[in-house]
Amino acid sequence: MIRKWQFILVIMAAGACSGRAAVIYWNGNTAASTSVLGMDAAGIASAVFTDPAVNQSGSSAATLVGDSSSSSGYANASGGDNFEAKAKPAAFSTGTSTYFQVTLTPAAGYAITLDSVTLASRSTSTGPTKITLYSSVDDYSAAIGTVSGLTTTGSNPSWAMIGPPLSGSLTGASDTSIIFRIYGSDGSGNNPSSANWRIDDISFTVTLVETVPESAMWGAISGTGLLALCGRRFWRQCAGGKN
Ligand SMILES: [Ca+2]
């Protein structure tokens, strides 16, 4: 049976590495995040999309930020600018499919875990019907989330908010950036002459774990142990010498 002072020690040690959530948000105006909100937003040093998107179709890539076809039709749509790309209308391939890329960099002494991603997406007739997420944690070797069956109706399609379930390699190392790729694929038709894929109102919910140097951790545990032993002695005295 775990004695009371041992239980106190475990709780204190666990508390030294607790994580707290933050939501990183882009409204499509700039590559850098629009806001970082949460209990420990200071744990994020930066969160930035890459400009331009990689592996676009045609001879000239679309710039990251566009002001056409503003987002609408879902709760809290920001409208205005969005992120755009000329996605290749072809089956998914990590080597050739078009993707947006975002780099999350923790503040010193933190590690990042991705908890969820939501984003609004809009595809024209040649645009992606499938979105797939990968991360640098495993060098983009396994998908961490997928949404299929996106609508690509006509020249003026609707925006849709999506949130693929996540699994797999989602936690980065301490003091190490994580790069996420948002692939768009499985469109059909000829290569587009203008942007056929737009995303907006992107939110990454993350847990920020404050990593503690080993020496500091063991110092904290030693100090906690002494406090626990003192408390145990006092408790025994009050209980008439029993424990
Ligand atoms: Ca917007």
Quote the tokens at residue 49: 């999309």
In the chain, where the domains are located: 1-17+214-243, 18-211
Ligand 1 mean position, distance from CA 3 (Å): 56
Ligand 1 mean position, distance from CA 27 (Å): 4
Residues that place a CB less than 5 A from ion ligand 1: 27-28, 78, 80, 82, 200
pLDDT at 158 over 80: yes
109: which strand partners?
A: none
Ligand 1 mean position, distance from CA 49 (Å): 14
Ligand 1 mean position, distance from CA 86 (Å): 18
Question: What does the pLDDT read at residue 226?
Answer: 46
User: CB neighbours (10 Å) of residue 57?
Assistant: 21
Ligand 1 mean position, distance from CA 71 (Å): 6
Residues 6 or more apart whose CB falls under 8 angstroms from that of 7 comprise: none
Ligand 1 mean position, distance from CA 242 (Å): 66
Question: What does the pLDDT read at residue 12?
Answer: 39
Q: Which one-letter DSSP state was computed for residue 238?
A: H
Average model confidence (pLDDT) across the chain: 84
Question: What does the pLDDT read at residue 219?
Answer: 52
Q: At 153, is the pLDDT very low, low, confident or very high (cuts 50, 70, 90)?
A: confident
Question: What does the pLDDT read at residue 233?
Answer: 54
Ligand 1 mean position, distance from CA 33 (Å): 12
**Rounded-to-integer distance, Cα 123 and Cα 68, Å:** 13
Rg of the chain over Cα atoms, rounded to whole angstroms, equals 24
Only one residue has tokens 């907006």, namely: 200
Ligand 1 mean position, distance from CA 11 (Å): 44
- Second-level CATH architecture of 18-211: Sandwich (2.60)
pLDDT at 227 over 80: no
